Structure 1
Amino acid sequence: MDELREGRLRAPVTAADLLGWLEEAAAAVRAGEVDADELIAVLGELRQASTACANASDWALLAAREAGASLRQIAPVFGKGYVRAPAARLEKLHREVLSADQFLELMRRRQAGQ
């Protein structure tokens, strides 16, 4: 798995990766190399990927808490200096699942049901 290197987990896609792709895509569109149908197909793929990234983020939040991270440690990645944002997200997630493993199983069932 490329995302696990030397014992370090990394996201499979980063904001920098997406910006680079976006700049290339925009140049291709400006050059007339991409038509509307292709853009619509990409839009659908991006929306699905966005949902998948949000789910991965939720899983990482649950897993971080289970690994012992405090809400104060997690809060900065939410762009807030206070713990209400991750606490509220955890509360919402805990209405459906109790653990990162349960969340992953829920995602598998949803994927299979598509």
Structure 2
Amino acid sequence: MRCSPRQRSCPPTEQAYVYWVRFFVRWCGRGGQMRHPRDMGALEVTQFLTMLANERHASASTHNQALSSLLFLYREVLGHSDVSTPMIYTHVLKVAAGGTASPLDALVPDALLIQ
């Protein structure tokens, strides 16, 4: 397996991230109105991850992969450099997973999260 030293990601990871970002954008545009991810935010991410849990019965690892893909999209591709912005999306996993505690919860006080 060949990994890119600059991006520190492997082709299978890149392919998985592209899959999840496309799935997210298409799912959010299911009503016929496609929108750019920069025009979407925590609400759409929450709805998407909730759908994965409730309708698709996705496992925790699937949730983590989808969330990691969306975090990469919003952090690296769309350039959200503010630490609190990606934390909004990280907090979404806890909500979508029915209150499952995340190890990140101990690091980020709830006061920093926009709900």
TM bracket, shorter-chain basis: under 0.3
More helix by share: 1
TM-score of the two chains, using structure 1 as the length reference: 0.27
Ranked by relative contact order (alpha carbons within 8 Å, sequence separation 6 or more), the top structure is 2
Larger radius of gyration: 1
TM-score of the two chains, using structure 2 as the length reference: 0.26
